[in-house]
């Protein structure tokens, strides 16, 4: 096999290893991000619930103040009843008292309804808060673990990158540039095997004459379809 093809083939193995490590880190970080996002959403929903509880409490206080006003108005009218002169005046006061009582009853019912709802919300709130505390703890533990693992992988990657750089130094600039360009455009794979006359990058057949040239292995040849650099690999896997 031509020296350059051999070098690029070896470089490809290393680059795939690096890409695999990167993908490993990215997958873990993406998973963590997803969990953080769902945690944030839960926290936001708890904050919304708290706002609802606060608003209900304000409404309850306002209602109770209005209730107190209404009750004192009723009392006022009841004492006025003693001094009425005319039947018309009496009827009018009586109606005001009845209306006042009706209004008091409605407000009392509303206060009860608000308090029941607040109680139910407080229960949900307590559950959610304890859940959030647990989740927060679990998340921070997981974050530390991912970070630790990422550091291990980065350490491993750093060693491989040093090796890659040393290898790349021995390869002609033009060939290396072409290889890197192909790698960028072809999903990280610039050098692929031809097995049974088929390019293992795009799985298209290689024309017979071109295949014969690849078999010789004396110069860099590309796949006519995907342009990847090809080397011959027996079906058994032996080179
Ligand atoms: Zn191809």
Residue 208 CA to ligand 1 centre (angstroms): 14
Whole-number mean pLDDT of the chain?
93
Residue 226 CA to ligand 1 centre (angstroms): 4
d(CA 196, CA 205): 9
Residue 211 CA to ligand 1 centre (angstroms): 12
pLDDT computed for residue 236 by the predictor: 63
d(CA 152, CA 61): 58
Percent of the chain, pLDDT > 70? 98
Residues 218-237 have pLDDT tens digits of 899 999 999 999 999 877 64
Residue 200 CA to ligand 1 centre (angstroms): 7
Residues with CB under 5 A from ligand 1 (ion): 199, 201-202, 223, 225-226
Structure tokens at 197: 């006359």
Residue 112 CA to ligand 1 centre (angstroms): 75
68-83: average pLDDT: 94
Residue 115 CA to ligand 1 centre (angstroms): 71
H or E segment and range at residue 69:
helix 3-81
Residues 158-202 have pLDDT tens digits of 999 999 999 999 999 999 999 999 999 999 999 999 999 999 999
Locate all alpha helices (DSSP H) within 170-198, ordered by sequence.
Answer: 173-185
């Amino acid at each position: 096999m031509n020296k350059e093809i051999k070098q690029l083939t070896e470089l490809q193995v290393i680059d795939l290893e690096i890409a695999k490590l990167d993908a490993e880190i990215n997958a873990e970080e993406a998973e963590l991000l997803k969990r953080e996002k769902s945690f944030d959403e839960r926290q936001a929903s708890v904050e919304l619930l708290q706002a609802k509880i606060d608003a209900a409490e304000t409404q309850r206080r306002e209602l109770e103040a209005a209730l107190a006003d209404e009750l004192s108005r009723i009392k006022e009218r009841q004492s006025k009843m003693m001094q009425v002169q005319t039947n018309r005046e009496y009827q009018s006061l009586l109606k005001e008292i009845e209306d006042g009582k009706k209004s008091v009853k409605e407000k009392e019912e509303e206060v009860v309804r608000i308090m029941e709802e607040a109680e139910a919300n407080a229960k949900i709130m307590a559950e959610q808060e304890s859940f959030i505390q647990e989740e927060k703890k679990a998340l921070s533990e997981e974050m530390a673990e991912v970070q630790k693992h990422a550091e291990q992988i980065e350490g491993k990657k750093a060693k491989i990158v040093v090796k890659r750089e040393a290898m790349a130094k021995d390869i002609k600039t033009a060939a290396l540039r072409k290889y890197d360009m192909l790698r960028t455009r072809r999903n990280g794979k610039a050098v692929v095997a031809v097995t049974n006359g088929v390019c293992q990058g795009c799985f298209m057949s290689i024309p017979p004459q071109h295949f014969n040239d690849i078999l010789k292995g004396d110069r860099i040849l590309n796949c006519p379809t995907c342009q990847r650099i090809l080397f011959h690999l027996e079906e058994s896997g032996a080179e």
